Structure 1
Amino acid sequence: MEAAVIYEHGGPGSIRYVRDFPDPVPAAGEVVVRVKAASLNYHDVFTRRGMPGIKVPMPCIMGIDFAGNIAALGAGVSHWAVGDRVMIDPVDRVGGGGLIGEVRHGGLAEYCAVPAHNLVRLPGNVSYETAACLPVAYGTALRMMVTIGQVKAEEKVLILGASGGVGTCCVQLAKLAGAEVIVCASSTEKLARLKELGAEYGIDYSREDFVKWVYAKYGKPHRRSFDSGVDVVVNFTGGDTWVPSLKTLHRQGRILTCGATAGFDPKEDLRFIWTFELNIRGSNGWMREDLIALLDLVGSGKLKTIIDREFSLADTNEAFQLLEDRAVFGKVIVKP
């Protein structure tokens, strides 16, 4: 089969497109999925580079998020049939087998063998491309904004890194909750597209200090006041943006985080946390019920997946380069 494969950890351009990778055979309790669409996540970049403490068996086919049709059933699989439309929940919550697309082959190939308990039935009104966007980015966003963050109507929500897969979903979820949304992005083009998604205000962080913008618009937070500043900051970038994010929150404001793409060990300033009684809420991934909720939201048209562009398997390196250069708006799809 055709596949995008890494044979060792490496930098940009290190993924090899091969036409004769062995076809998977389903073990007991597994199915083989004919992949129709996969989407890239920054976690795939980390897998390609190599992450401390995680041993990736080589060769490795990455691709955490994907959807397709069941092509073959292994022994003992029930309640599924060849031809069923499926989305993959890449986290093995039953067998403890590790993350699909990291410690076992993923969706950047024509076919992929997965445990049957990783399957999520895909309704006919949800496309393969849409489903491929959901688990990692949209599942993470839903859990962070709804389950953990509890974003409410009329709250002021500042979203950093708003133009990526997680960010564009966060914008939509905040609007569904009735919040006022302020987004940060690196270009006027991205900000314009975010406003089309419902954001009221946009800040080009390459030209403007978002802390000063918040102070000018909403006032500088005071330790004895519950107004001024913003109610919620969504920050999954970390790095140099962490302490400035704390400074924008009013007393008892919330900062939500699910990652640290710009650095996991930022400088901290505990004075803001205790002085303003700030709530720091971490959110880790998603649960199966989050994926079911997402399928209902996209199926009903309340939420839409934002896809920047599609690539073939042969152009997987190019797709990754766009992701690493942060030159995309929303998600990148790879189709066998």
Structure 2
Amino acid sequence: MKALVLHQHGTVDDLTLESAWPDPQAHEGHVVIAVKACALNYHDIFTMRGMPGIKVPLPVIMGIDMAGEIVEVGPGVTGWKVGDRVLVDPFDREKTKLIGEMLDGGLAEYCEVGAHTLIALPDDVSYADAAAIPVAYGTAYRMMHTRGRIAAEEKVLILGASGGVGTCCVQLARNAGAHVIVAASSDEKLARLAEIGAHDGINYATDGIMEAVHERYGKPRVWGEGGVDVVVNFTGGDTWVPSLRSLRNGGRLLTCGATAGYDPKTDLRYVWSFELDIVGSNGWHREDLHALLDLVRSGALKPVIDRTLPLERGREAFELLEQRGFVGKLVLEPGA
């Protein structure tokens, strides 16, 4: 089969398109799926480069999020048959391993997965839309609904809004009736985010995020008004303190990651003086993925896919991912 294989940690140049990689076989309790769509995540960049303290078995086929069709059913599998359309929940909870990192993933024509990871994919949800859901949209759903409890009329500022998690957060906040403010690196991205529901935008390449919030929504006061109700921050790094200083008294900062640095400087005075709540959210649960599929089917949520590419253009997709030169999700189609 064709597969995009990482033989050693490094750069995009260390990704190899193999044309005759061994086909997987369905072992006890497993199935083999023909991968129809595999969405990239920034976690794939971390895996490619290598993460301190995490030993990834090499060579490995990355690709965490995938959807496809069952082509082989292994011994002991019940309830599934060849031809079933499926979405894969990428965290294998029986093995406590992440598919596409510790187990081979979806950047190949075929992939073996545990039957317990499968979710039936309705005919009215495309493979590409389904593949966009688990990591980014599942994480966003849990952060915004289960943990963050976004409510109508709240002013919600979303940093990193043009990526997979961010574009889902925009739609979920808009659906909740919130006033949605987004931060992105270009006017072009802000225009695209306005199309999917943002009410206001901050170009952080030209304007300071905190300064823009203070100018448009007032400077927060300990005993007064000003600021936003919620900041969604999964970047960390230099955005952390400006996020705290953008919140109103009693505001909430939601975080589910730290793509720009996990150990930012902070100022605890803002936390206690303004009685701020910092709410962490970790990944997704299976019920979150079912809820998201229902939202997609109803039309209340539309996965934002910047482009789909064949597996042969996998390196190009990873370069776009590194450069963040897109809005929403990048999807590869190994079976195209």
How do 1:35-184 and structure 2 match up within 5 A?
Answer: 35-93=35-93, 95-184=94-183
Once residues 333 and 173 of structure 1 are traced to their aligned partners in structure 2, the CA distance between those partners, rounded to angstroms, is 21
3-state DSSP of counterpart to 1:5: strand
What residue in structure 1 maps to residue 320 of structure 2? 322
1:15: which partner in 2? 15
Q: Distance in 2 between matches of 1:124 and 1:140?
A: 24
- Structural mapping, 1:179-190, within 5 Å: 179-190=178-189
Q: Which SS does the other structure have where 1:13 is aligned?
A: helix
Q: Aligned with 2:254: secondary structure?
A: strand
* TM-superposed deviation, 1:14: 1.4
What are structure 2's unaligned runs of at least 5 residues?
none
Q: Give the whole-Å Cα distance in 2 for the aligned partners of 1:285 and 1:265.
A: 19
* Dislocated runs of 4+, deviation >4 Å: none
Residue number in structure 2 paired with 1:293: 291
Residue matched to 1:206: 205
Contact 1:155–1:180 under 8 Å retained in 2: yes
Q: Aligned with 1:231: secondary structure?
A: strand
- Kindly provide the amino acid, as one letter, of the partner of residue 145 in structure 1: M
- Within the candidate set 264, 267, 286, 2:265 is matched to 267
> Match for 2:209: what amino acid?
F
Range with greater deviation from structure 2 (318-327 or 213-222): 213-222
Q: CA deviation at 1:260?
A: 0.7
Please state how far the C-alpha of 1:96 moved relative to its aligned partner: 2.2
Letter in 2 for 1:247: R
- Cα drift, residue 55 of structure 1: 1.3
Query: Within 5 Å, which residues of 2 pair with 1:24-35?
Result: 24-35=24-35
Shift of 1:149: 0.4
Whole-angstrom CA distance in 2 between matches of 1:111 and 1:220 = 54
**CA distance in 1: counterparts of 2:55 and 2:177, whole angstroms:** 43
Report how many aligned residue pairs link the two structures. Answer: 334
Tell me by how many angstroms 1:54 deviates. 1.6
Instruction: Read off the aligned partner of 1:324 and give its amino acid letter.
Output: E
Scaled by the length of structure 2, what TM-score is found? Answer: 0.98
- Give the Cα separation in 2 of the matches to 1:13 and 1:175: 40
- The Cα of 1:13 is off from its aligned counterpart by 2.1
Instruction: Give the distance between the partners of 2:107 and 2:217, measured in 1 at CA.
Output: 46
> Match of 1:242, SS?
helix
Which sits farther off after the overlay, 321-330 or 308-317?
308-317
What TM-score do you get using the length of structure 1 for normalisation?
0.98
Most deviating of 310-319 and 183-192: 310-319
The offset of 1:39, in angstroms, is 0.5
Query: Is the partner of 1:125 in helix, strand or coil?
Result: coil
Distance 2:60 2:18 in 1: 12
SS of alignment partner, residue 174 of structure 1: helix
Measured on the aligned residues, the alpha-carbon RMSD in Å equals 0.7
Percent of aligned positions that are identical? 62
Is the 8 Å Cα contact of residues 14 and 317 (structure 1) preserved in structure 2? no
Structure 1: where are the runs of 5+ without partners?
Answer: none
Aligned to 1:279: 277
